[in-house]
Structure 1
Amino acid sequence: MTISRRNLLAVGAGAGLLTACGSNTGRGGGGSGPQLSQWYHQYGEPGTEQAVRRYAAGYRKAHVSVQWRPGNYDQQTAAALLTDSGPDVFEVNGPTLDQIRSGQILDLTELLDGVKDDFNPAVLAPKTYDGKVWAIPQTIDMQLLYYRKSLLRAAGVEPPTTLDALVDAARRLTDRKTKGLFLGNDGGAGVLGGTPLYAAGLQLVTDGGEIGFDDPAAARTLGKLHRLYADESLLLGAPSDWSDPSALLQGLTAMQWSGLWALPQVQKELGDDFGVLPFPGDGDHGRPTVPVGAYGAAVSARSGHEEAAKEYVKWLWVERTDHQQDFALSYGFHIPARISLAEKATRLREGPAADAVRFTTEHGYAQPLLWTPASQTAYQDALSRIIRNGAGPEGELRAVVRKVRAELDRVNTGRKTP
């Protein structure tokens, strides 16, 4: 499948090499004010590029040129922010601590005056540091569990609402032709990430910047994921990976973890023969959980037009709710970052789409700002060994806790108290 907004939810994606930057081919805005450059990563959904160019062309207070950036966008922006030739306004999958602490991006807190509570808190949290907002969420992607109603009904299986029930359902739904559950061709380590920990009532990093899963419940929960593998209930080696719903549609699996973006295709091919669920809670303190993510609009501190750039971001991602709805739902299938817009969007009012919006509001979590790439790699490698190799979760997690604690000590050095 082509590059799209789902990439920000793909846990553990490898970083590519910095690619050559393209020329400025943006169609300028109609304004006669300052010249502003705006960068986007390359979306896969048809029409998205034309839409953002149209938004920019409609702005009258500045001349905005859009650059569509193929290749490794995060590395491109990281390099450009160190120069005077980078963007004024840019999309950010983050931001990162380095961008904030080194003063590369501007504080945008004031742009949300009076409307901050209308932004989904799960996606606003990782864009907030020391009580300040550093990027304005644009639109939300999320993951959830799809299931075939007819297959569950034939096996006498209820939609699972606990992790134990999910393990049992996957086993009972597995036969010679169909596996019970598809979590990706690696068994789930890549896509699940911290989701099972949140489902156990834990966190990757607490709000106070401490490790959030140094708890026996973490090992108990992750151990149950190995049971899925050991029971041979997991589909492995599917023609397409978890982000594509083909395995579910072709009857290779009765349940599949995928993204909201797949819902229109699933609905078109299965009609009413499917439902959606959050990842089920586990243990006495467990809770249903769905991971969410959102690209945000940030402003470079090296822009020569800081106030004009901030004003443009406010216009596009705070004031122009029509553009925000269009961006979320006309080119793919996503949820507006504003709660009020999600609630009144026609395509999100009924059926599984409405369920997905509710899951996002009630059960959504985003990867914390303090969860570093080194912490992620250590955790994901351990999760893979637990799921596929049956490695003892207690020992694996002890090693991860040591690594993450060292990372948190490093990144918390000099951190202000919110």
Structure 2
Amino acid sequence: MKKTRWKIVLPALMALLLLLLAGCGSGGSNNQAENAGSNGAPAANGGGTKEKVKLQFWDMHTEAEQKYFQDLVKAYNASQSNVEIEYSTYNQADYTSTKLPIAFSGGNGPDIYMISPGDFMKFSNSGYLADLSPYFPEGIKEDFLPSALDAVTVDGKILALPYEMELLGLYYNEDMLKQAGVEVPKTWDELLEAARKLTTDKVAGLVLPPDKGAYFNFNFYPFLWQAGGKVLADDGKTSAFNSPETAKALDFWGTFFQEKLSPSKLQYGPWEIDNLGKLTAAMQICGTWAVSRIEDVYGDVPIKLAPLPIPDGGKSVTTAGGWKFAVNAKSKNLEEAAKFVMWAFADADTSRPLKWATETKFAYPARQSVVEAGKEIYNKGLRQVYTNEIYESAIPEPVYNPDVVEAIGDAMTQVMFGNKTGAEAAKDADAKINEAMK
């Protein structure tokens, strides 16, 4: 009897134990449904939830701009439960020259990153820019300025998201100019003479970028265009760099370094208005982004703004640049990365791009609806100089192959430091550009 009773009881106990274990488990489909968030995605915590997709986002912002993106990432992470963005920022010079190139060449590039127009084609040719065309929300693409999208379109594919347009102007210390008896320069000759009078052992007459790179060329293009020069012929396939106009622009640029009116080494980056703010320079060519820093940090320094001086017989021209949001084409989570980029600056909600362009910094948005929403602020303080005197003269920063960018930079440095004339440097660069365009 005893042996028979255990034969009956043991199977029953085992069945009961299996039921209890199943009830305590966390991998069942019912449990996952119970732990799902209100949007149907798995909740951030709790048993049975799938692991979040983690995306790396890199850029080169500092201070208020860095905080903006930190807050942006935090808001996005809190808005949904499927994706977690991890944000990292680096020194701008290191970011463009070493951090990004080394990471991508080693197969460790971030999922989301910022790219400058000067580096755009280099990353496009290397296959590091994902096509964002399919990810634009309905109707939003038409809200972008056509020229802004054209600048990032290759073979019909939109390879980055333009979210700002940054213009260049001439910033100057009003008191320093008055003390030196210098009028605000309007011509190239006046700019050169002003720099000569303003340069001292402790103060640079004019800050220009001294080192090769995308920002280097960005600052030179207005000089080239004002003189009537251009990089490529109208066919876009051959060089037009070898011209008297190009030589004139190169010689003018180089004079500031040959005469030591512009430093070959800077304590602050050439894109940082701190050169003026810290009273180590009297004039500086810088961009719209400097306005917010002047207001926030250097309100007690008499910094003013004017359009870029022009040569005799030339025309007023500035560059419209601006970093672009990009997604790594080799990312394992390309779709999730693209959705974050669109949410940030291509969403129906314009509050995020408006805050960036009018509160965090000063730039012109790439979307018409955002420009309209912020029209009042564009006529406040130094902004009105850009809006009323500079904006209409802006030409989008061109996008060239890396070898073309390199050839232009080489020509500039040869005149600055290599004892070549503008004509000689233009001729050398012309051959390199034609070779690069084959």
Alignment TM class, shorter chain as reference: 0.7 to 0.9
Q: Does 1:284 align with 2:313?
A: yes
Structure 1: which amino acid aligns with 2:195? A
| Counterparts of 1:261 and 1:238, CA distance in 2 | 19
Q: CA deviation at 1:312?
A: 5.2
Structure 1: which amino acid aligns with 2:268? S
Q: Which residue of 1 aligns with 2:86?
A: 67
Q: Which residue of 2 aligns with 1:404?
A: 433
Distance verdict in 2 for CA 1:80–1:113, change over 3 Å = farther
Aligned with 1:216 (options 219, 244, 247) = 244
Q: CA deviation at 1:127?
A: 0.6
Q: CA deviation at 1:147?
A: 0.8
Bigger mean CA offset, 114-123 vs 251-260: 114-123
Q: Are the equivalent residues in 1 in contact too, given 2:160–2:326 (CA < 8 A)? A: yes
Q: Which residue of 1 aligns with 2:13?
A: none
For structure 2, the 5+ residue unaligned runs are 1-36, 43-51, 90-94
For the residue of structure 2 that corresponds to 1:182, the secondary structure is coil
Aligned with 1:160 (options 182, 185, 192) = 185
Bigger mean CA offset, 133-142 vs 99-108: 99-108
For the residue of structure 1 that corresponds to 2:83, the secondary structure is strand
Q: CA deviation at 1:255?
A: 0.8
Q: CA deviation at 1:243?
A: 2.9
| Counterparts of 1:142 and 1:367, CA distance in 2 | 10
Choose between structure 1 and 2: higher helix proportion. 2
| Counterparts of 1:301 and 1:176, CA distance in 2 | 50
For the residue of structure 2 that corresponds to 1:368, the secondary structure is coil
TM-score by length of 2: 0.70
The percent of aligned pairs where both chains have the same amino acid is 22
Distance verdict in 2 for CA 1:97–1:278, change over 3 Å = same
| Counterparts of 1:237 and 1:312, CA distance in 2 | 38
Q: Does 1:386 align with 2:415?
A: yes
Structure 2: which amino acid aligns with 1:197? L
Q: Which residue of 2 aligns with 1:134?
A: 159
| Counterparts of 1:153 and 1:112, CA distance in 2 | 53
For the residue of structure 2 that corresponds to 1:336, the secondary structure is coil
Q: CA deviation at 1:398?
A: 0.8
For the residue of structure 2 that corresponds to 1:290, the secondary structure is strand
Residue by residue, what CA displacement relative to the aligned partner does 1:34-91 show, whole Å, maximum 9, x if unpaired? Answer: 966544214323423432223423555x723213245613543565599xxx73x654
| Counterparts of 1:235 and 1:333, CA distance in 2 | 27
Structure 2: which amino acid aligns with 1:269? Y
Q: Are the equivalent residues in 1 in contact too, given 2:168–2:285 (CA < 8 A)? A: yes
Q: Are the equivalent residues in 1 in contact too, given 2:277–2:301 (CA < 8 A)? A: no
| Counterparts of 1:99 and 1:250, CA distance in 2 | 38
Distance verdict in 2 for CA 1:58–1:215, change over 3 Å = farther
Q: Which structure is larger by alpha-carbon Rg, 1 or 2?
A: 2
- Map 1:19-418 onto structure 2 (within 5 A): 31-33=39-41, 38-42=55-59, 43-45=61-63, 46-57=66-77, 59=79, 63-69=82-88, 72-77=99-104, 80=107, 87=111, 91-93=114-116, 95-96=120-121, 99=124, 105-108=130-133, 111=136, 114-116=139-141, 118-120=143-145, 123-174=148-199, 178-184=203-209, 190=216, 192-205=219-232, 208-210=235-237, 211-235=239-263, 237-267=265-295, 268-271=297-300, 273-282=302-311, 284-298=313-327, 300=329, 306=335, 313-319=341-347, 320-342=349-371, 344-345=373-374, 347-357=377-387, 361-369=391-399, 371-409=400-438
Bigger mean CA offset, 333-342 vs 127-136: 333-342
Distance verdict in 2 for CA 1:182–1:106, change over 3 Å = closer
Structure 2: which amino acid aligns with 1:166? L
Q: Are the equivalent residues in 2 in contact too, given 1:199–1:279 (CA < 8 A)? A: no
For the residue of structure 1 that corresponds to 2:398, the secondary structure is coil
Distance verdict in 2 for CA 1:91–1:56, change over 3 Å = farther
Q: CA deviation at 1:359?
A: 6.6
Q: How many residues get paired?
A: 374
Q: CA deviation at 1:270?
A: 4.8
Q: CA deviation at 1:99?
A: 3.7
Q: CA deviation at 1:125?
A: 3.5
For the residue of structure 2 that corresponds to 1:242, the secondary structure is coil
For the residue of structure 2 that corresponds to 1:296, the secondary structure is strand
Residue by residue, what CA displacement relative to the aligned partner does 1:17-45 show, whole Å, maximum 9, x if unpaired? Answer: xxxxxxxxxxxx98545966544214323
| Counterparts of 2:340 and 2:266, CA distance in 1 | 45
| Counterparts of 2:392 and 2:142, CA distance in 1 | 15
Distance verdict in 2 for CA 1:387–1:305, change over 3 Å = closer
Bigger mean CA offset, 289-298 vs 336-345: 336-345
For structure 1, the 5+ residue unaligned runs are 1-28, 410-418
Distance verdict in 2 for CA 1:322–1:187, change over 3 Å = closer
Q: Are the equivalent residues in 2 in contact too, given 1:32–1:63 (CA < 8 A)? A: no
Q: CA RMSD in A?
A: 3.9
| Counterparts of 1:315 and 1:241, CA distance in 2 | 31
Q: CA deviation at 1:401?
A: 0.8
